[in-house]
Chains A and B, each alone.
Chain A
Amino acid sequence: MGSVKLEKVHDCLWEIPKEDAMQVPGRIYADQRSIDFLREEGKAKQWDALVQVRNVACLPGIQQASLAMADIHPGYGFPIGGVGAFDLETGVVTIAGVGFDINCGVRTMVVDIARDEIERRKKELANALFETVPAGLGSTGSLKLSKKEIDHVLREGARFSLERGYGIPEDLQFVEEEGSVDGADPDCVSMHAKERQFKQVGTLGSGNHYLEVQYVEEIFDEEAAAAFGLDRDQVVVSIHTGSRALGHQIGTDYLKVLRRASEKYHIPILEAELVAAPIKSPEGERYIAAVKAGINCAFANRQAIGGLVRKAFHRIFAIKDEEIHTLYEVGHNNLKFERHTVNGMEKELLIHRKGATRAFGPGRPEVPQRYREVGHPVLVGGTMGTASYVLVGTERGMEETFGSAVHGAGRLKSRKRALREYRGERIIGDLSKQGILVKVHSKRGAAEEAPGAYKDVDHVVSIMEGAGVNKRVVRLRPLICVKG
């Protein structure tokens, strides 16, 4: 399995040359250290992210290259950090390129309160956030929905939560797709999926999902930081969650559908989850319409949590809703129809981003007017003890990566190994000494998500910047972290 041929393009980019069944080459944003790690990991275990990059390159209709961002690690069929663009006529849609947490993503909000004031009342604020935002396994949302209303969530996205009194109208301008995609069809989503979700809108979930109060620790790009309204020490809140159980069930349901479609349309199955249907087939169209419903569900969820975060801040600081502004919200497990230039020709493509963030650079019409000269903020989550980043896309990124960026640090150690090596209480104690207040529903969760279980996020973003496809704007450091 570890026999993937690799050629160095430059210090931050490696290529798997096109051969055999590959339709395009594979390209991995990595330095020597990352490549050595991936090779070792591939040899030692049956999960090889480099093989996954190569397998994706074999799918029909893939354009330009099968890509992996610098936070690459093994996923299901697609590597995490994988990007694949497909021609609408000859291409396929694959469930592996979206995963089980549809439109999982990050919203960051800017808070008009000085950092020292937050420091003074940190404990109270942490408690307020912990009590106000439902998190952890089986938590139920404060948005009480009937089973029928879930269809509105799936069609309307963030607008649904806004109309229910969560957040302010201005939020939607700063959410990718303005918080709602067209073409979502609730009829393509099973009753099971809806029954699992209707109690969960407005919940954070568990695992690597979090809510953090952070501050701007360092500025790298003054111009972009000014456009984003981010000064040194500026306080922000970041919400990392997705479509919850609805997305999981859509994934489960369509895995079966696409397994059969792969056989029906003679698409070779190179790995169990790498199953697909032609974009223009009944199975492909239904899956896309279901994913769009999942995308809207995640938008509604983050909008609801954004509203709850404002309530918690109001409780402690009597701050008005309008004094907390949405900087941006962007997903990292997505399907998108986008226009890009391939071989000098502009055309519409279906882009899969699995653990990769959209990063549209300057001038794109999808970027909100306020940010159009610099590109939209790209929100990259770190681990609870380390940093998060705000990046921007570049012209080069538009050409090379279809406007994509990393999404986080990427896991280094398995959860089992993390549990063996770390103790939840100890991690929480160590972070507290560094000024980071952690509130968790599960201590085991804290051990599994220990900073040492992840790759170094500084290293990951430096590779993307070194390759010229993403640019660092600011680094954020956590003050409070709430987890499931």
Chain B
Amino acid sequence: MDDNRKPERGHETLDHTADMGLRGWGPGIPEAFEEIALAMFELIAEPGYEAGTYETSIRCQGRDLDELLVEFLNTLLAQADIDDVVYRSVNISGVKHGGETWEMDAVAFGTPRELAKEYLRAEVKAATYCGVLVEETDTGMWETRCVVDL
């Protein structure tokens, strides 16, 4: 994709032989994280189902941004399973860096799986460290990448 014509924020999937690569981008770290999460949600359930009213707070930590990203995606996967929901969006309220850890607070919005049944696509086993990337690009945008195990 031509960088100049890229929208301000967005996400896409990338090829991987057995699994699926995800990519998000945006003007800052929170946006790039939110976008890659959207790519994962769309892999799990095709958009189009009714918006639910479910919301949950997520907190995660990592010793660097790579670990924070993998933790963030895995926390979303675990919480969705526990609460039996599919997420459609996530708002990151803050990313903090103190001492040797990065910390993130977010709220995820979702719909009970039962109501999204017709839209379910794939089960994501886990976000992995394979090809993980959190990087500020030359244009001052932030980019996130991760491969998820299906």
Q: State in angstroms the CA–CA spacing of A154 and B32 once bound together.
A: 38
Knowing A100-B149, A138-B113, A414-B16, say if A256 contacts B67 (CB, 8 Å): yes
Q: State in angstroms the CA–CA spacing of A100 and B128 once bound together.
A: 10
In the complex, residue of chain B having the shortest beta-carbon distance to the beta carbon of A75? B18
Knowing A47-B16, A75-B18, A272-B132, say if A448 contacts B122 (CB, 8 Å): yes
Say yes or no: is B129 at the interface (Cβ < 8 Å to chain A). yes
In the complex, residue of chain A having the shortest beta-carbon distance to the beta carbon of B127? A252
Main secondary structure of the interface of B (DSSP, over half): mixed
**Contact assessment for A138 and B16 in the assembled complex, using a CB-CB cutoff below 8 Å:** no
Say yes or no: is B78 at the interface (Cβ < 8 Å to chain A). yes
Stretch with Cβ within 8 A of B (4 or more), from A243-251, A320-328, A465-473: A243-251
Say yes or no: is B74 at the interface (Cβ < 8 Å to chain A). yes
Say yes or no: is B1 at the interface (Cβ < 8 Å to chain A). no
Q: Which chain B residues lie closer than 8 Å to A415 at the CB level?
A: 16, 19-20, 122, 150
Mark out the residues of chain A between 256 and 272 whose CB falls within 8 Å of any chain B CB in the assembled complex. Answer: 256, 259, 271-272
**Contact assessment for B81 and A196 in the assembled complex, using a CB-CB cutoff below 8 Å:** yes
Measured CB to CB, the closest approach of chain A to B89, in angstroms, equals 19
Measured CB to CB, the closest approach of chain B to A96, in angstroms, equals 10
Main secondary structure of the interface of A (DSSP, over half): loop
Number of A residues whose C-beta is below 8 Å from B? 46
Q: State in angstroms the CA–CA spacing of A262 and B73 once bound together.
A: 23
Interface centre among B71, B84, B122, B131 (most CB of A within 10 A): B122
Q: Which chain B residues lie closer than 8 Å to A46 at the CB level?
A: 131
**Contact assessment for A411 and B20 in the assembled complex, using a CB-CB cutoff below 8 Å:** no
Residue-wise, chain B 64-103 has the 8 Å CB interface mask toward A (1 for contact) of 0001001100100110011010100000000000000000
Q: Which chain A residues lie closer than 8 Å to B150 at the CB level?
A: 207, 415
Q: State in angstroms the CA–CA spacing of A46 and B132 once bound together.
A: 12
Number of B residues whose C-beta is below 8 Å from A? 36
Say yes or no: is B3 at the interface (Cβ < 8 Å to chain A). no
Interface centre among B15, B74, B129 (most CB of A within 10 A): B129
In the complex, residue of chain A having the shortest beta-carbon distance to the beta carbon of B71? A256
**Contact assessment for B17 and A445 in the assembled complex, using a CB-CB cutoff below 8 Å:** no
Q: State in angstroms the CA–CA spacing of A256 and B14 once bound together.
A: 25
**Contact assessment for B15 and A272 in the assembled complex, using a CB-CB cutoff below 8 Å:** no
Mark out the residues of chain A between 190 and 236 whose CB falls within 8 Å of any chain B CB in the assembled complex. Answer: 192, 195-196, 199, 205-207
Interface centre among A74, A136, A138, A444 (most CB of B within 10 A): A138
Say yes or no: is B39 at the interface (Cβ < 8 Å to chain A). no
Q: Which chain A residues lie closer than 8 Å to B149 at the CB level?
A: 76, 99-100, 248
Q: Tell me which of B74, B125, B131 contacts A101 (CB under 8 A).
A: B125
Q: Which chain A residues lie closer than 8 Å to B123 at the CB level?
A: 137, 205-207, 484
Q: State in angstroms the CA–CA spacing of A80 and B18 once bound together.
A: 10
Q: State in angstroms the CA–CA spacing of A478 and B15 once bound together.
A: 30
Mark out the residues of chain B between 16 and 67 whose CB falls within 8 Å of any chain A CB in the assembled complex. Answer: 16-20, 44-46, 67
Q: Which chain A residues lie closer than 8 Å to B77 at the CB level?
A: 248, 252
Say yes or no: is B106 at the interface (Cβ < 8 Å to chain A). no
**Contact assessment for B130 and A41 in the assembled complex, using a CB-CB cutoff below 8 Å:** no
Q: Which chain A residues lie closer than 8 Å to B67 at the CB level?
A: 256, 259
Q: State in angstroms the CA–CA spacing of A255 and B86 once bound together.
A: 25
In the complex, residue of chain B having the shortest beta-carbon distance to the beta carbon of A245? B81
Measured CB to CB, the closest approach of chain A to B43, in angstroms, equals 9
Measured CB to CB, the closest approach of chain A to B74, in angstroms, equals 5
Knowing A207-B150, A248-B126, A273-B130, say if A137 contacts B16 (CB, 8 Å): no
Q: Which chain A residues lie closer than 8 Å to B131 at the CB level?
A: 46, 272
Q: Which chain B residues lie closer than 8 Å to A252 at the CB level?
A: 74, 77-78, 126-127
Say yes or no: is A33 at the interface (Cβ < 8 Å to chain B). no
Measured CB to CB, the closest approach of chain B to A287, in angstroms, equals 15
Knowing A442-B121, A444-B122, say if A273 contacts B74 (CB, 8 Å): no
Say yes or no: is B141 at the interface (Cβ < 8 Å to chain A). no
**Contact assessment for A416 and B125 in the assembled complex, using a CB-CB cutoff below 8 Å:** no
Q: State in angstroms the CA–CA spacing of A271 and B132 once bound together.
A: 11
Q: State in angstroms the CA–CA spacing of A441 and B120 once bound together.
A: 9
Say yes or no: is A475 at the interface (Cβ < 8 Å to chain B). no
**Contact assessment for B128 and A207 in the assembled complex, using a CB-CB cutoff below 8 Å:** no
In the complex, residue of chain B having the shortest beta-carbon distance to the beta carbon of A194? B82
In the complex, residue of chain A having the shortest beta-carbon distance to the beta carbon of B16? A414
Q: State in angstroms the CA–CA spacing of A259 and B18 once bound together.
A: 23
Q: State in angstroms the CA–CA spacing of A441 and B113 once bound together.
A: 14
Q: State in angstroms the CA–CA spacing of A272 and B126 once bound together.
A: 14
What would 29 A/B residue contacts be, using CB atoms closer than 8 Å? Answer: A45-B15, A76-B128, A76-B129, A80-B18, A99-B149, A100-B125, A136-B120, A137-B113, A137-B121, A137-B123, A192-B78, A196-B78, A199-B84, A206-B122, A206-B123, A207-B123, A245-B81, A248-B149, A251-B125, A252-B74, A259-B67, A272-B128, A272-B131, A273-B128, A414-B20, A415-B19, A416-B14, A442-B120, A448-B122
With contacts A99-B149, A248-B125 known, what are 7 further pairs, Cβ within 8 A? A100-B126, A199-B84, A207-B122, A252-B78, A255-B128, A272-B128, A415-B150
Interface residues of B (CB under 8 A from A): 13-20, 44-46, 67, 70-71, 74, 77-78, 81-82, 84, 86, 113, 120-123, 125-132, 149-150
Q: Sort A-B residue pairs by CB-CB distance and give the 6 closest, nearest first.
A: A272-B129, A138-B113, A196-B81, A100-B125, A137-B120, A206-B123
